[in-house]
Structure 1
Amino acid sequence: MVSLRCKMMVKEELKKLKIRFANIQLGEVELFEPLTVDQHDQLQKNLRKSGLELLDDKKTILINKIKSLIVEMVHYTDEVPKVNYSDYISEKVGYDYTYLSNIFSEVTGITIQQYIIIHKIERVKELLLYDELNLSQIANLLNYSSVAHLSNQFKKITGLTPSYFKAMKRRREINLDDL
């Protein structure tokens, strides 16, 4: 939903500036001709007002594609792909995983795997707060090899066990009810 809204905003800005484009994809716009300096500056200014950013650097564009793919994969799909993440990312982005991994680490200071883990733990937190699935179901949904593996990663990232995190939520609800 967010990507569709962003796509529409970019499309509107391009039309306002009379910039001819062939195609708009998440994070990419295919233009019929290169932008003039004035068009570039105006487009960048207009996109910033909308909370968007014009990226020119190929590495930055590639990193953002990887990040978007991971966020989409972990947070917005019903089921995390069963294939190896490195194969999935490499296939979707169209580059060798070693190359992607090196650029990602160089630019962000963390590995792709660390980025995936951070987002998986954020997803676990969301699912725990919704209180619709138990920990075994969450581990299965996010392709953890076991509940213990999920719990260890959760504690390493948050400093809390999943059960303590969930108990904190319950305590907050009880305290709010007392108000």
Structure 2
Amino acid sequence: MTLYIKHMVSLRCKLMVKYELERLHLKYIRIELGTVEIEENITNAVKQELKLNLAISGLELLDDKKSILIDKIKTVIIEMIHHSEDIPRVNCSYFISQKLGCDYTYLSNLFSEAEGITIQHFIIKHKIEKAKELLLDNELNLTEISHKLHYSSVAHLSNQFKKITGSTPSIFKSLGELRKENLENL
């Protein structure tokens, strides 16, 4: 039986789900971002208890098909940007459509209706979060970050970065370095 869990986006979330499954004596086959495959079907009472326990951790057990599909879209995007070594070179809409086996127009309309933003805007927000992470890691320069995230130019990345964060990448990076210095001087 496959269960779908909303907001499951990190290793910490996976560990929390594993803990709750073990607490309820549910044997699982695998735990992935957004999904858990368990060995047997569970009763509604156990499902409700799991749902309540996950909610305490900020996770949500999904029941309806549209919510599950929206969560799958988010998971594909998060994995693509944050958990893969390199973002695929293909068009994101094509990648998402192929990964989920659904028409992109349908996915896009469903996502926009439910989330209030487009899939493209969701992707941009996550690419900027990844850029922030890479800037603070201090291992890549802005040109390399721009290339890694498949921006057409550094200017394009900088413009989107400023729209989302309100500051330029260089100001963001210098503030991050200043915070590190202040912490080191405590």
Q: Which of the five TM-score ranges fits, normalised by the shorter chain?
A: 0.7 to 0.9
Residues 28-59 of structure 1 deviation map (CA, whole Å, 9 limit, x = unaligned)? 45678765432332232233355532110111
Q: Report deviation, 1:171.
A: 3.2
Residues 140-174 of structure 1 deviation map (CA, whole Å, 9 limit, x = unaligned)? 00000111110110011111111111222233344
Q: Any stretches of 5+ residues in structure 1 without a counterpart?
A: none
Instruction: Report SS of the residue matched to 1:54.
Output: strand
The residue aligned with 1:97 is 104
CA contact (8 A) 1:13 1:47 kept: no
The residue aligned with 2:147 is 140
The residue aligned with 1:116 is 123
**Over the residues paired in the alignment, what is the CA RMSD in angstroms?**
2.8
Is 1:79–2:86 an aligned residue pair? yes
Task: Name whichever structure is richer in helix by fraction.
Answer: 1
The residue aligned with 1:153 is 160
Out of 44, 57, 60, the residue aligned to residue 53 of structure 1 is: 60
Bigger radius of gyration among the two? 1
Deviates more, 1:21-30 or 1:50-59: 21-30
Work out the number of aligned pairs and report it: 176
Instruction: Map 1:23-62 to 2 at 5 A.
Output: 26-29=33-36, 35-49=42-56, 51-62=58-69
Deviates more, 1:121-130 or 1:162-171: 162-171
Residues 84-141 of structure 1 deviation map (CA, whole Å, 9 limit, x = unaligned)? 0001111111111111000100110000000000000011111111111001000000
With normalisation by structure 1, the TM-score equals 0.82
Cα distance change of structure 1 residues 38 and 80 upon mapping to structure 2, 3 Å threshold: same
Q: Report deviation, 1:66.
A: 1.0
Out of 162, 173, 176, the residue aligned to residue 169 of structure 1 is: 176
CA contact (8 A) 1:11 1:24 kept: no
Q: Which amino acid counterpart does residue 53 of structure 1 have in structure 2? A: E
| Identical positions, percent | 56
Task: Name whichever structure is richer in strand by fraction.
Answer: 2
Q: Which amino acid counterpart does residue 65 of structure 1 have in structure 2? A: K
With normalisation by structure 2, the TM-score equals 0.80
Distance 1:33 1:80 in 2: 35
Greater relative CO, 1 or 2 (CA 8 Å, sep 6+): 2
CA contact (8 A) 2:136 2:177 kept: no
Distance 1:174 1:34 in 2: 53
